[in-house]
Amino acid sequence: MKPILAPALALASSAFIAAGAGAQQALDTARIVNADKEPQNWLSYGRTYDEQRFSTLTKINDGNVRNLGLAWYFDTNTTRGLEATPIVVDGVIYTTGSWSVVWAIDARTGKQLWMYDPQVPKSWGVKACCDVVNRGVAVYQGKVFVGTLDGRLVALDAASGKPAWEVNTIDRDKPYTITGAPRVVKGKVLIGNGGAEFGVRGYVSAYDAATGQQAWRFYTVPGDPSKPQASAALTKAAQTWKGEWWKIGGGGTVWDSMAYDAELDLLYIGVGNGSPWNRDIRSPGGGDNLYLSSIVALRPDSGEYVWHYQTTPGETWDYTATQHIMLADLSIGGQVRKVLMQAPKNGFFYVLDRATGKFISAQPYVKVNWATHIDPATGRPVETADEQYRKKEKLTFPSPYGGHNWHPMAFNPKAGLVYIPALDLPLLYKNPESFKYVPNAWNTGVDLVAAMPPSGMPQVLDRKLAALLAKGHLSAWDPVRQKEVWRVQHTGPWNGGVLSTAGNLVFQGTADGRLAAYRADSGAPLWETPTQTGIIAPPVTYQVDGEQYVAVMAGWGGAFALAAGGAAQFAQKGPGGRLLVYKLGGTAQLPPFQRPARQLSPQPQTANEATLKKGYEQYHTFCAACHGATAISGSMLPDLRYMSPATQTAFDKIVLEGVYKETGMVGFGHLLTKADADAIRAYLNKRAHDQLAEDQGGWWQAIKDFFYSIAAQALKLLLSLKS
């Protein structure tokens, strides 16, 4: 990049925006294809179309990273999860926060240039399985593109932030959401959606970047087989389904990953889980259920199917293949192969031939007990011989959170390593007694209440057991030898996405509120700094005026934070989300933060055991996905054990009538009776008493804690025998 003359630094922000906008106009496919020629920028989601998240910048390196300090921070004024990858184009950062809000920010100073709020109705939040998050924008020819939580695709003028066009991408009567970042390939904006926990049919759509005109749509699962299918690929796929899946939707949402190979002109999409999860309910009698849990290669101009590889045939565990898709050229067996790499939820790390979709290799990167291995002859998993959870419940590794979720990996070609933000936790899967589809509710076909600790289990034991069962680590994986080279063990799961650089560095934020740098080749810890809040987003790096920066969206949240309860207790819940930007010798400071004190105000306990049990079941059916398992909130959403007396008085109005729906808490009066609400309140009141007893326990509690720790260890051992 040319050095900017001193007078240019004094430019007023409007002139600066205009200068930036000229450069944004020129941001086209050729520039993104050749992104390595301008390492100062971060032009697309994975930096390059191959999504390697590897920066060739070296000013910050393994020799000086210890001098990294905060350059500036930007408050997003949100308390929900932040997952975005900031896009950096010629001195301007474009990023997003919760509820799909977009900002343009001066990359030198952190000054806001513009903000755009798409005004997502807060009541849409209840349709989001996994928090009201957004993973970022795409920038192309003077426009910034964002997918909104409520299913719109909006093009903004890059200079002003004013909408240029907007299209609706979904059936608004169905519980679709968009959380993924759009990609732009050859003038078309590509966007998928989510919703397969609730009951939808997945697809990816392409829109003309200039006009918003829809160019094509590729459905990932077949529709009603009595009608013609949308493509020959779907006619073929329909033969792998049974029953009446289309009435619920079938699933297969394309909610996150895409990659593009310009030379082969192939667009790769990652396809999600079945809807419902349980295949015996979704497709009674079996079948592979294409193209669930598959990587599908399409022509970006037409959406035409080219090949697919299914990671989990007949998936029945929420094992999506929507995880990060990364392209690289690797020397395997003395031959340079054009490969595609993925660590999907099912726990195996895959290397495929990306020209043909042919299987090259796969090995488990975390503990896996649903399959023994992938048969190299067929490329199919060999499932364990225990009928999975069909006849009796099974503690299964990985859980629906996956061995790896959406958190991006990174590849360092110099070290030859892929860095995986890995998750180590199981779920007890159990068939439900019966299944009834409930519109706009969770429809997994798995008895998730059975996966919870028993209703009578002491809270402290539940917390200790959760902490023992739920772990996470950063794995440096050799994709050629298919084995781990080093790992960093973290306090718990759900840590940040990863960045690697030619400075022999790997950056990752952690759930317990740190941003850290490690040596890319050895994993040796080199630097870390406290961030006040847990980090889930991936860092990026860029350079302006010769200064290299590392930037990350810091804001704890997402699926695990919302739902995991005691297992998420270790995480840092900070003052609210921020964009944090670091440089060598940075001296900025975060303002001091003191977590506000909370008060337990339980009512006298009068409910009988039957009511408490009913409250436990209803809470875990309707409330726990957002407020946390066993009423322990691991996210920034209210911990209901700490309800104020005023909230307790208004409980029915909130829970049944939805008086707080403008905050995102909708009413559940169509699903719950007054007696149900009473039972839930009684259960929450009991949990408040449990916590109060713990807080006031003194030395007696300390002794109990010790014995509960031993009991939790014993329980973990018992559970591991069941897995």
Which amino acid, one-letter code, is at 111?
K
SS3 assignment, position 88: strand
Q: What is the DSSP string of 438-483?
A: -TTS---SS-TTTTSPPTTS-HHHHHHHHHHH-EEEEEEEETTTTE
Tokens 């067929």 belong to 378
Tokens describing residue 578: 């921020």
Query: Which residues in this chain contact Ca ion in the complex, by CB under 5 A?
Result: 273, 318
CB 273, min distance to Ca ion, A: 4
CB 277, min distance to Ca ion, A: 8
Candidates 367, 405, 618, 414; CA nearest to 494 is 405
**Cα–Cα dist 147/118, whole Å:** 10
Strand duo 214-219 + 525-530: pairing: unpaired
CB 113, min distance to Ca ion, A: 36
Contacting residues for 310 by C-beta, under 8 A, at least 6 apart: 288, 290, 291, 292, 293, 294, 321
Phi then psi for residue 702, to 5 deg, are -60, -40
Phi-psi region of 527 (alpha: psi -120 to 50; beta: other; left: phi over 0): beta
| Bridge partners for 549 per DSSP | 542
Side-by-side strand order, sheet with 540-544: 68-75, 578-584, 547-554, 540-544
- Contact criterion met (CB below 8 Å) for 43 and 89: yes
The torsion defined by the Cα of 182, 185, 186 and 188, in degrees rounded to 10, comes to -30
CB 133, min distance to Ca ion, A: 14
Strand duo 54-55 + 498-501: pairing: parallel
Phi then psi for residue 691, to 5 deg, are -65, -40
DSSP code at position 177: B
Candidates 215, 111, 211, 116; CA nearest to 158 is 116
CB 278, min distance to Ca ion, A: 13
Using the minimum distance from each CB to Ca ion, give the nearer residue, 134 or 320.
Answer: 320
CB 300, min distance to Ca ion, A: 25
Which amino acid, one-letter code, is at 63?
G
CB 334, min distance to Ca ion, A: 39
| Bridge partners for 43 per DSSP | none
CB 149, min distance to Ca ion, A: 16
Catalytic site residue from 318, 521, 676, 690: 318
Q: What is the DSSP string of 399-410?
A: -TT-SS-SS--E
Using the minimum distance from each CB to Ca ion, give the nearer residue, 319 or 365.
Answer: 319
SS3 assignment, position 304: coil
Phi-psi region of 482 (alpha: psi -120 to 50; beta: other; left: phi over 0): left
Using the minimum distance from each CB to Ca ion, give the nearer residue, 41 or 346.
Answer: 346
Tokens describing residue 485: 């080279």
Using the minimum distance from each CB to Ca ion, give the nearer residue, 273 or 531.
Answer: 273
* Burial class of residue 417 in the structure, from the number of CB atoms within 10 Å of its CB (0-12 exposed, 13-18 middle, 19+ buried): buried
CB 448, min distance to Ca ion, A: 13
Which amino acid, one-letter code, is at 604?
P
Using the minimum distance from each CB to Ca ion, give the nearer residue, 16 or 317.
Answer: 317
How many residues are given for the chain? 723
Tokens describing residue 603: 């009512």
Tokens describing residue 672: 């719950």
Candidates 30, 48, 17; CA nearest to 413 is 48
Using the minimum distance from each CB to Ca ion, give the nearer residue, 315 or 512.
Answer: 315
CB 404, min distance to Ca ion, A: 13
Burial 359-378 (b: 16+ CB within 10 A, else e): bbbbbbbbebbbbeebeeee
CB 196, min distance to Ca ion, A: 5
Using the minimum distance from each CB to Ca ion, give the nearer residue, 318 or 484.
Answer: 318
**Cα–Cα dist 101/531, whole Å:** 22
Using the minimum distance from each CB to Ca ion, give the nearer residue, 150 or 318.
Answer: 318
CB 451, min distance to Ca ion, A: 15
**Cα–Cα dist 195/12, whole Å:** 44
Decide if 545 is catalytic: no
* Burial class of residue 383 in the structure, from the number of CB atoms within 10 Å of its CB (0-12 exposed, 13-18 middle, 19+ buried): middle
Candidates 449, 435, 466; CA nearest to 623 is 449
Q: Residue 589 CA to chain centroid, in angstroms?
A: 29
CB 585, min distance to Ca ion, A: 43
- Contact criterion met (CB below 8 Å) for 282 and 243: yes
Tokens describing residue 497: 């996405």
Using the minimum distance from each CB to Ca ion, give the nearer residue, 273 or 294.
Answer: 273
**Cα–Cα dist 141/166, whole Å:** 16
Using the minimum distance from each CB to Ca ion, give the nearer residue, 196 or 682.
Answer: 196
Active site residues: 318
